[in-house]
Structure 1
Amino acid sequence: MTPNQFLELAASISVQVALLVLVTAGLSRLVNESGQCRLWAVCHAAILSLLAVALVFPHFRWFQPWSYLSSSRTAELVAVEAPLGRLLLLVWLIGCGASVAVFVFRNVQAARFLRTCQPIPGSERLLPDGAEAGSPSERDKSGQTQNRGAALTFWGRWPRAERSMDVMLLTSSRLAAPFCWQFHRPFIVIPEFIVKDDPEALHFVVRHEWEHLRTGHPLQLFLQRIVETLFWYHPMVWWASRQSDVAREFLCDDAAIESPKQISRYLRALLRIIEQGAGHRALVAALPFSRAGGTIARRARRLAAIAQDSPLRRWEVPERVAVAGLFLAAAFCFFVWIPVDVMASTRSHWSPWPKWSAHVLHDFGIQARDFEIYDRRVDLHELIEYGGTGTSTTIPDGPSISRSLVPTARFSD
């Protein structure tokens, strides 16, 4: 891939991602909370798919706006695009490296914190038979265990297929807000003040965090973090992440509340957790119960609207229809390419195959063009020697040039 081609790839994939996020935002207004979570998860998967397709397959060129430029102007643009493409690649790699380092650090930090947490007495695991946590002897030793068991009796009301997950309940005095975590094994970590003093809040918290685990939100969050790492520079990606976070919290709020009558008590429990967590930093690698103030305000307004029996949206479309529409939008976005590469040939509407995928096809005996079709307009011999005006034009780091192939300096062969 040449610097010019990388510049075109970066510009095009950024526009594709922005369009896909906008479509997802529009569709999410037409579905319920479960559908919103699904749409944002599909959106993040589609973003990664667009990047993979762009790196493996050729793309369609709708037009070539540079074909009307003079040779001297073309030479000047080539001389600008080559170093700009290298600089852009360097900056992107530095940003990705920093994002990966932060991601690894936060996960290591969360794993270390989990090792300092203590299992909740009498409820090391959520029992699949719906039994109360804690043995009779443990309940005799502490009335708090009985309160915790009462708060967890909701477990028996879940379908067996949904409560077969082996979840560890932990607590910590250093924790200000509950969160769930899942890598090899799912955990729900609850602050000590909730476990000891507030069985009703414990009831809400466990239901909320369990819904995160049941619906696969840790995996969705991991996918989201990958997209954020690769597109750390894209403001629409970060906006999509915030919308995805809010959609997950909306869904889990609904699961934590069994009836609208519980909303006021749920909000009081949420307010207390926020007050206790003031000044404390949450584990970014996990799924915390309470987030930034803006998100909390949106959750509170929505719950208040539910309590007043106000409609959240005028009408809804089936979730499958919205997901199908998002897939169609992703397919359309693949054909949105910004013609940045000045050296692109005007003799073909399709770009060359990337070198790595072309080599694989060649190994299987399949012919694939991995070079630009010769176009006299971008013949580098003439551009370098004459510059269209009879003067010499220097293009940085130009390699040996063939008249049938027109590459500039390559990142890799």
Structure 2
Amino acid sequence: MNGLQWFQVILSLVIQLTIVLGLAWGLERWTSSVLVKARVWSACFVSLLLMLMIGLLLPRLEWLHPWSSLGPTQLLAVATTEFVLGKCLLAIWLCGVGVMLTRWAIQFVRVRAFIRGCPEYSAEMNTRLKQHIPTEMAAPHHDQLLFLECPEELGPFCYQFHRPLIFLPPSLAHGNSTELEHVLRHELTHLDTQHPMQQFAQKLAQVLFWFHPLVWISGRRCSLVREFVCDEAASSDAESTASYLRTLLRLVENQTKSPAGGLMFGRSQSELKLRARRLVLEQRTPPYSGYWAPALVLLGAMIAAQVWLPTNPLSPHHSQYSPWPTWTASVAHAFGVSLKDFETFDRDLRVDELIEAQESP
């Protein structure tokens, strides 16, 4: 891809991302089921990654050709400017991605070092803790679940890379069984609903689209919605809700720091207020309410992926779509599939002809 193509891809992606994120916000506000809200955001961040793949691997529709009325001098000036801007935007984007990936890698190394420093509870203690898992949440894959001891100031949280881990402070592991059951319900819901994988997709989207503020705002909302899902799973009626809120308050008051990369039981005082208010005041909705909302996000993303700014002044006037990107066409050619990886010949838009027309009296 040359500078003209990168200029079009980056600017068009900003618009496409905004459309999909706006759609996700609208659907998230429309549905009242927290489970559907979480699925909407998961579909949203997966859609963002898919749109980037579509932009880099597939040809682009050419809806309009607004440059056809320009003369050779104007076309060359626009093409030269966009070529330089495209290269600059690509360099800035890649530098930002490199910085974000470096920070992510450092964070991952620190989390893994922290995990290695957390001692495992004894086999007998692990067995006892698993006995506190509610019957309705018991599953065969919980055999791989491992409980580790974490400092009191961190509070409980879960983590999953190769195997699911739940970190419990000693006061909770050896303390009140009701509090322990609340925490286990919360953390197991994180693991059973694939929240670690969803968090990975969200983080990857934030790394790749670091320049878009709405991606970061949506990421914070998505993290909060995941906590809503686990809060509902941990409390079913008025009595259990009151008990759960007391547990949440006590643990958050003791929590003074959080390990980056973990799914925390209590994250901050402001989030605690939102979660407590929702548990007390909002009525719960069955998970099938708004079931089709995630599918609408994916459909909207596929439509938005066809929204491309007609920025390339050298695209042929009568072309309906751009050539296939070189890397996609090369792979297809290796398997004997012929793809159009060149611009349709248009004498009025050939660079050498434009220069000749510009220099001719």
TM-score by length of 2: 0.91
2:294 is matched with: 323
1:395 is matched with: none
What whole-Å deviation, never above 9, does each CA across 1:116-170 have from its counterpart, x for those lacking one?
1123356553x5xxxxx1xxxxxxxxxxxxxxx6xx6542512543664421111
Any idea what SS the aligned residue of 2:68 has? helix
Q: Against the structure 1 CA distance between its residues 159 and 299, is the aligned structure 2 distance closer, same or farther, given a 3 Å change threshold?
A: closer
Which residues of 2 match residues 315-394 of structure 1 at below 5 A? 317-319=289-291, 321-385=292-356, 387=358
2:280 is matched with: 304
Q: Aligned equivalents of 1:72 and 1:192: distance in 2? A: 75
Query: Contact (CA 8 Å) 2:329, 2:341: kept in 1 or not?
Result: yes
2:265 is matched with: 289
Q: Against the structure 1 CA distance between its residues 242 and 165, is the aligned structure 2 distance closer, same or farther, given a 3 Å change threshold?
A: farther
Q: Against the structure 1 CA distance between its residues 160 and 249, is the aligned structure 2 distance closer, same or farther, given a 3 Å change threshold?
A: closer
- Cα offset, 1:287, TM superposition: 0.9
Any idea what SS the aligned residue of 2:148 has? strand
Any idea what SS the aligned residue of 1:366 has? coil
Q: Against the structure 1 CA distance between its residues 388 and 294, is the aligned structure 2 distance closer, same or farther, given a 3 Å change threshold?
A: farther
Query: Contact (CA 8 Å) 1:31, 1:322: kept in 2 or not?
Result: no
1:7 is matched with: 7
Which residues of 2 match residues 176-195 of structure 1 at below 5 A? 176-195=154-173
Query: Contact (CA 8 Å) 1:72, 1:388: kept in 2 or not?
Result: no
1:78 is matched with: 79
Query: Contact (CA 8 Å) 2:33, 2:286: kept in 1 or not?
Result: no
Any idea what SS the aligned residue of 1:339 has? coil
Q: Aligned equivalents of 1:254 and 1:67: distance in 2? A: 58
- Cα offset, 1:219, TM superposition: 0.9
- State whether structure 2 residue 66 is matched by structure 1 residue 65: yes
- Cα offset, 1:90, TM superposition: 1.0
Query: Contact (CA 8 Å) 1:205, 1:256: kept in 2 or not?
Result: yes
Q: Aligned equivalents of 1:387 and 1:105: distance in 2? A: 53
Identity of aligned residues (%): 31
- Cα offset, 1:56, TM superposition: 1.6
Any idea what SS the aligned residue of 2:133 has? helix
- Cα offset, 1:265, TM superposition: 2.5
Which residues of 2 match residues 234-253 of structure 1 at below 5 A? 234-253=212-231
What whole-Å deviation, never above 9, does each CA across 1:214-249 have from its counterpart, x for those lacking one?
111111111111111111111121122112111110
Q: Aligned equivalents of 1:227 and 1:240: distance in 2? A: 11
1:141 is matched with: none
2:246 is matched with: 268
| Aligned-partner residue type, residue 110 of structure 1 | V
1:19 is matched with: 19
| Aligned-partner residue type, residue 186 of structure 1 | P
Q: Against the structure 1 CA distance between its residues 161 and 189, is the aligned structure 2 distance closer, same or farther, given a 3 Å change threshold?
A: closer
Q: Aligned equivalents of 1:262 and 1:325: distance in 2? A: 35
Query: Contact (CA 8 Å) 2:134, 2:185: kept in 1 or not?
Result: no
Any idea what SS the aligned residue of 1:170 has? strand
Q: More deviation in 366-375 or 212-221?
A: 366-375
TM-score by length of 1: 0.80
| Aligned-partner residue type, residue 9 of structure 1 | V
Structure with greater helix share of residues? 2
Q: Aligned equivalents of 1:65 and 1:186: distance in 2? A: 55
- Cα offset, 1:372, TM superposition: 1.5
- Cα offset, 1:8, TM superposition: 0.5
- Cα offset, 1:269, TM superposition: 2.0
- Cα offset, 1:209, TM superposition: 0.8
1:277 is matched with: 255
Q: Against the structure 1 CA distance between its residues 241 and 388, is the aligned structure 2 distance closer, same or farther, given a 3 Å change threshold?
A: farther
Any idea what SS the aligned residue of 1:67 has? coil
Query: Contact (CA 8 Å) 1:124, 1:170: kept in 2 or not?
Result: no
Residue segments in structure 1 that go unaligned for 5+ positions in a row: 128-132, 134-148, 391-413
Q: Aligned equivalents of 1:56 and 1:165: distance in 2? A: 41
Q: Against the structure 1 CA distance between its residues 76 and 166, is the aligned structure 2 distance closer, same or farther, given a 3 Å change threshold?
A: same
1:95 is matched with: 96
Which residues of 2 match residues 137-152 of structure 1 at below 5 A? none
What is the total number of aligned residue pairs between the two structures?
360
Which residues of 2 match residues 154-193 of structure 1 at below 5 A? 154-158=132-136, 160-161=138-139, 164-173=142-151, 175-193=153-171
